[in-house]
Amino acid sequence: MNLSKVANVNPYLLIDLDKGETSKLRRTLDPWQPAKAHAVTRLVGECSLRHGARLEIKEPRWETNIYPLYYYFWDQGYRGRKLYNQVIVDYKRLFPELASPSSGGDLYYELQRSTDAEIDLLIEDRDYFIFAEVKDPPPGKKAKFETRGGIHQLVRQFVQGKLLGRLIRKEFLLCTVGVGLCGPLRLNDVEKGLLAAVGGPGHELDVQNFDWDLLG
């Protein structure tokens, strides 16, 4: 085995995937530098602690406002309807214990739609990745979340992360920043079914929230 080649394998499977104009412009004008990692290290540490995950922080990198699952399949050469169909093909392959023969219809449609959920902040390291939904509501106001087709955006992000976690074989965590006190997210029946399809919680989604100063 050529150890030099093994050592040079890129451990970042999601970073730099997004081919959107905004992402390309950001990479051009604000290229990555290792010294920037401190901006997210504290958030990773606190997120790991609250989840009891014991993540080993090595060399975390981050990107903002991206669509990692969509561009994961785009990078594999899928386009248009074939891209969304491949989501279901890989779901059945990766979650055989949960993808029952009776599954389909609305469930598969919502799994496909999770591909289009924008991620405010993606943090990726060698063995894990984190999605963070970031809010900055006016003083005294509650943070607003998007709901499409009766599915809360945090549910879509959780589903997207669980799919990616099995695709790239890394641990996944979801958190929020700047939301304040909101408590666990109560789920409707469709959301319960969607989370159950990826091995998620059954009755509510408890997403840990952190203050902005952790990113300072």
Encode pLDDT of 109-152 as tens digits: 999 999 999 999 999 999 999 999 999 999 889 999 999 999 99
For residue 137, tell me if it sits in a domain: yes
For residue 142, tell me if it sits in a domain: yes
Mean pLDDT lowest for which of 52-56, 72-76, 122-126? 52-56
Instruction: Supply the mean pLDDT for the chain.
Output: 92
For residue 9, tell me if it sits in a domain: no
pLDDT band at 91 (very low <50, low <70, confident <90, very high): very high
Mean pLDDT lowest for which of 3-7, 45-49, 88-92? 3-7
For residue 62, tell me if it sits in a domain: yes
Structural domain for 135, as ranges: 56-215
Give 92-161 as a DSSP string: HHH-TTT--TT--THHHHHHHHGGG--EEEEEE-SSEEEEEEE--PPTT-PPP--EETTEEHHHHHHHHH
For residue 197, tell me if it sits in a domain: yes
pLDDT band at 3 (very low <50, low <70, confident <90, very high): very low
For residue 125, tell me if it sits in a domain: yes
116 in the Ramachandran plot: left (φ > 0), alpha (ψ -120 to 50) or beta?
alpha
Q: How are beta strands 185-186 and 204-205 bridged, if at all? A: antiparallel
From CA 51, how far away is CA 156, in angstroms rounded? Answer: 19
Number of domains within the chain: 1
From CA 200, how far away is CA 152, in angstroms rounded? Answer: 14
pTM, whole model, 2 decimals? 0.93
Answer whether residue 216 shows pLDDT above 80: no
For residue 91, tell me if it sits in a domain: yes
Contact (CB, 8 A) for 174 and 157: yes
For residue 19, tell me if it sits in a domain: no
- Residue 103, pLDDT score: 61
